[in-house]
Amino acid sequence: MDKYLEIRAMFENREDKENALVMAKYMRNKFKFYGLPTPKRKEIYKSFLKDEKKNKIIDWDFLDKCYEDEHREFQYLVCDYLNAMIKYLTYEDIFKIKKYLKSKQWWDTIDFLDKVIGKIGLRDNRVDDLMLKWSKDEDFWIRRLAIDHQLCRKEKTKIELLEQIIVNNFGSDEFFINKAIGWSLRDYSKTNPDWVRNFISKYEGKMDKLSIKEASKYI
């Protein structure tokens, strides 16, 4: 059976319509859901992802079908698939992933895929210039991903890159941008609080209050 159809059948068999309404409401009714909580959803395709990793080949046709599905669980499957296959992803694959970033946009998928692209960036320095370019994109979701793609890097954070990407987004009145700036600084403050303090002091007059509030949480 077709992989997509096989997983769709498993999702449908475990559908929880009552919980689907709750999950949809949490996402402001932007998407339909099967009502599958994360642990149950991941258990459904756990063995499938294990087999895919053995193949060592990313099935983009399968991923495209999943991302086109109207149920949000399928976009989550794409995210989990890419994360599971991270060692096989290349710089060139980012442009295939961008197609997903531009479709069905919301914080849940953007904030997962930023980690995927961030991991590619640890292996390929070309990602740095691409993220600088994306930090000026007209699509604020693409800019948000650029801001947060270094989350959880700790000592491996490229601070000059982080600074320039954030500076490129000063003056925005978009909540999801100013929140992302604060989160990226807050995360790095756990590793280098002095740098973050100095950053806030240097740019306080240009930073949104929300960004400063989030960035200052641990310092």
Can you give the pTM of this predicted structure?
A: 0.96
Residues forming a β-bridge with 71: 32
pLDDT digits (tens, 9 = 90+) for 75-96: 999 999 999 999 999 999 999 9
Q: For residue 143, give the 3-state DSSP assignment.
A: helix
According to CATH, the topology of domain 127-219 is 1.25.40
Q: For residue 169, give the 3-state DSSP assignment.
A: coil
Total length of the chain: 219
Enumerate the domain spans of the chain. 127-219
pLDDT at 138: 98
Q: For residue 205, give the 3-state DSSP assignment.
A: coil
pLDDT digits (tens, 9 = 90+) for 5-49: 999 999 999 999 999 999 999 999 999 999 999 999 999 999 999
Quick one: tokens of 94? 């980012």
User: Of all residues in the chain, what percent carry a pLDDT higher than 90?
Assistant: 100
